[in-house]
Amino acid sequence: MAKIKKRDRARNIFNMNHDLFRCPVCKGQMMRTDAYGLNCSAGHNFDLARKGYVNLLTRGQNCVYDTELFQARRQVFRAGLFGPLIAKVSEVINELSFDKRITLLDVGCGEGSFLCSLVKQITQMPVTPLGIDISKEGINLAASYNDPLMWCVADLAQLPLQDASIDIILNVLSPANYGEFHRVLKARGVVVKVIPGQHYLGELRDFLRYDQDHDRYSNEEVIKHLEENLEIQAIHPVHYRFMVNSSLWPHLVRMTPLMWNKSIHEDLSVSDKEIKQVTVDLNIIVGSVPDSSGGPSRKGIIN
C-alpha cells in the first residue's frame, strides 16, 4: 500500500473538521471541498502548506519569537524537561468527565512538542487536536512532526474558530485572550492553563542576573485575572528538579526570553557556574466559563 503524503493526510483531516473553523476575513463557515486548504462560501481561500498546515492570518505576524528559539525549545522538550508536567496535564484531562470525542485546542502551541506528547497520553477519550500559534516559524516546525494533528498560523485575538466549537483549551506558558476563550468554548468546556510559579527556572534567572534589577516573579496578577474571567475548578502545583548537562544548557538558555537583553557569549559561558539542575515550578489551573447570567467580566490578552 502506498504511503499517504503528509499534505494529503492533512487535507483529509482539515476536511473532516472543516466545521470547526470560520473565515478570519468574513467570519463565514468553511466548506468541505477537495481543495488543499480551507475555503469559505464567500470565496476566501487559505491554502494548505506543503508541510500540512494552514495560515489563517489576515495580516503580517507580530511575533518576537524566531526559529532559533523554537528549535531550542524542541531540544529541551526532547531532553525531557517538561515530561512530568505533560504527564500531570494528561492526568488532569483524563479525569475530566467527557463521554465522547473532544476537540482540544492548544493556543500558543509554539513548535508543537507539548501537544504531540500530550495527545499520546490522553487515553480516556478520543481527541481531535488542533494547535494554533501566531508564529509561522513555530507552526512550520510543529508540522514537521508526523502526527495526525491540525496546525494553524492564527491570531489569538481573533481565533478562526466557530462559536462553541472547543471542549478543552490548553494554554501553556502563553498569553490568553479570555474573550475569545469564552466565545469558542462549548457550554461545558474548560481551560487548562499552565503558569509559572515563583521558583520556575530560578537558577537560570539567577545566572542571567535577571533578578538583580527586578523583583522575584509573582503569578498573583495572572491568577487574579484568571479569577476575574473563569470559575477556577482546581489548581495543581507541579514542582520538580531537572538535571542539566553541558549539551542541553545552550538550548535551555536560548529558549527563554530572559536572555534577550544579554549577549550570547555571556549567556553560554557556564564553565565557571556549574549549574547542574534547574527548578520546574508550575501551576496547572483548570477553569470553566462562568454562567452567562452574571459573574466575571471578559478581559483581553493577558499572560
CATH number for 108: 3.40.50.150
Give CA–CA dist 283/196, Å, rounded. 6
Note if the pTM is more than 0.85.
Answer: yes
Q: For residue 297, tell me if it sits in a domain.
A: no
153 in Cβ contact with 42 (< 8 Å): no
Within a domain: residue 302? no
Report residue 124 as a C-alpha cell: 480516556
**Averaged over 169-185, what is the pLDDT?**
96
Q: How many domains does the chain have?
A: 1
The domain in which residue 127 lies consists of 6-290
Percent of the chain beyond pLDDT 90? 66
- Is pLDDT of 300 > 60? no
Residue 140's nearest CA partner among 78, 48, 19 is: 48
Residue 15: inside a domain? yes
Strands 185-196 and 166-172: parallel
Per DSSP bridges, beta strands 45-47 and 37-40 are antiparallel
What is the pLDDT, as a whole number, of residue 6? 87
pLDDT at residue 209, rounded to an integer: 65
- Tell me if 171 sits within 8 A of 107, measured CB to CB: yes
| pLDDT for residue 294 | 45
Residue 259 covered by a domain: yes
Question: pLDDT tens across 226-258, in order?
Answer: 899 999 999 999 999 999 988 898 888 888 765
Pick from 20-29, 46-55, 122-131, 208-217: least confident: 208-217
Task: Report d(CA 5, CA 14) in Å as an integer.
Answer: 14
pLDDT confidence band for 296 (50 / 70 / 90)? very low
At 259 the pLDDT is 55
Give the integer Cα–Cα distance in Å for 262 and 255: 13
In the numeric block, the cell 528559539 is attached to: 69
28-69 confidence digits (pLDDT tens): 999 988 789 999 989 999 999 999 999 999 887 666 677 888
Please list, in sequence order, all residues whose beta carbon lies within 8 angstroms of the beta carbon of residue 166, skipping any fewer than 6 positions away: 20, 103, 104, 105, 184, 185, 186, 189
1 found inside a domain? no
Whole-number average pLDDT of the chain = 87
300 located within any domain: no
Output the DSSP codes for 220-243.
HHHHHHHHHHSEEEEEEEEEEEEE
Q: Are 179 and 300 in contact (CB under 8 A)?
A: yes
Mean pLDDT is highest, among 32-46, 77-91, 248-262, 287-301, for 77-91
Does residue 225 fall inside a structural domain?
yes
